[in-house]
Amino acid sequence: MGNTRDIKKRMKAVGNIKRITRTMQMIATSKFARAQQASVASRPYTESLFGLVAKLSAAGVGEGNALLSQPNPDAPELTLVISAERGLCGPYNGSILRTSLRHLRANPGSKLEVVGKKGATALRFNGFSDFKHHPAFGDKPAYEDVERLANDYITRFTNGEISAVRVVYMKYISAGKQEPTVLQLLPFSTPEAAASEADTSGFTDVYEFSPDAESLLEYLLPAAVKAVLFQSFNDAIVSEHIARMVAMKAATDNAGKMGNSLKRQFNRLRQAQITTELTEIISGAAALE
């Protein structure tokens, strides 16, 4: 059980840990609220672009477009892994890593790029050393930074240097559900949801395009690729904050339980010491009579 001095030291250490984890939980909660607002705000724009591109593609517009087909099918694929820059976020990085490893082992020879220190460290540990490590995009990724990355992928894809671009990230569905997802960014594929909506809605929308539909699609496709990549970063940030918030709450609760357990041990040990001291006093007094 230990002596009272050791238990008091442990109680103090657990109390300090509890204060730290509670503070980290509050910070993660605050960041989550801001990141969720950014992710939810950008989603209607992304879905609208998806819908327009889906309708144009369904109408036969853009056949042979470089972003809808593979200019060089023999070129290697490129995989972008979006992981966290920091730890203490529960199973978040582990889920991303497992999904990434399954995808990379199923597609040997693909080029690899990583965002986040945790993903880079884990992939090196698993034998993937030849990859490009992007600097951190921060808790609030700027659209300009993501746009430069998307433009680089579009240029390399249209030049035939890579045959496809896939993004491994944590998709934000709701505050209670996030899923590790492998998203095909290029060649750009129209969303299944938009296609099914067009098939089951019971009516067909009629659009008049100005300029012509082909010119409009030439502008919309790069914009859609950039919007989807930006949405992926926003979803990853929100999911990371949720995971850290949940992990720190669990750590705070566990520290509280451990503190209570140590307090009970301390009280029992102190009570035993007091009982022993009283017994010795009474025994000594009885011996003097």
Beta strands in 2-75 (DSSP E): none
Distances (CA, A) of 58 to 55, 187, 212: 5, 16, 16
Residue 103's pLDDT is what? Answer: 93
User: Is the pLDDT higher at 217 or at 104?
Assistant: 104
Nearest to 114 by CA among 80, 150, 78: 80
Residue 209's pLDDT is what? Answer: 64
> CB of 78 within 8 A of CB of 168?
no
Structural domains in the chain? 22-246 (3.40.1380.10)
Distance between CA 124 and CA 104 in Å, rounded? 13
The residues with which 166 forms a beta bridge, in sequence order, are 79, 184
Across 192-203, average pLDDT: 46
What is the b/e burial string over 238-275, where b = at least 16 CB atoms within 10 angstroms of the residue's CB? bbbbbbbbbbbbebbeebeebbeebeebbeebeeeeee
> CB of 240 within 8 A of CB of 36?
no
Nearest to 249 by CA among 22, 51, 1: 22
SS3 204: coil
Residue 198's pLDDT is what? Answer: 44
Across 54-58, average pLDDT: 69
| pLDDT at position 193 over 70 | no
Neighbours of 288 (CB within 10 A): 5
| pLDDT at position 154 over 90 | yes
Residue 217's pLDDT is what? Answer: 77
| pLDDT at position 289 over 80 | no
Nearest to 59 by CA among 221, 217, 188, 220: 217
| pLDDT range class, residue 205, cuts 50, 70, 90 | low
| pLDDT at position 236 over 50 | yes
